[in-house]
Amino acid sequence: EIVLTQSPDFQSVTPKGKVTITCRASQSIGSNLHWYQQKPDQSPKLLIKFASQSISGVPSRFSGSGSGTDFTLTINSLEAEDAATYYCHQSSSLPRTFGQGTKVEIK
């Protein structure tokens, strides 16, 4: 089973600040890494697929990069509505797995 480890577990950032979340895979997963945003009492929403592919309707301040075992989600110019928990997810091999989540708080 591929283990995804996110860091940090929690981040508190001021509005207009920058957020960087990393996701490290226990073995190479190519670009089969996806990022989700989950707000309280909502289902996860896809932000980035296949490491760096943008999703229609997702603000351009969200971007992803990486391949192999190391991946990054970047949120530029943080807005209040970005307060949420962010998860990475791999679809490279079975069983599919998720990172433990990173909670982003707005200061």
Partner 1 sequence: QVQLQESGPGLLKPSGTLSLTCAVSAGSISSSNWWSWIRQPPGKGLEWIGEIYHSGSTNYNPSLKSRVTISVDKSKNQFSLKLISVTAADTAMYYCGRGVDYWGQGTLVTVSS
43 contacts partner 1 (rule: CB under 8 A): yes
Structure tokens given for 33: 């890494």
Location of structure tokens 């509005």: 15
40 contacts partner 1 (rule: CB under 8 A): no
- How near is the Cβ of 14 to partner 1 at its closest, in Å? 26
Distances in Å between the Cα of 98 and the Cα atoms of 26, 31, 32, 63 are 12, 15, 12, 19
Contact 52, 65 (CB under 8 A): yes
Location of structure tokens 């200061």: 107
- How near is the Cβ of 100 to partner 1 at its closest, in Å? 5
Q: Which stretch binds partner 1 (CB under 8 A): 23-31, 59-67, 74-82, 94-102?
A: 94-102
Point out which residues bind partner 1 (CB under 8 A): 1, 34, 42-46, 49, 55, 87, 89, 91, 94-101
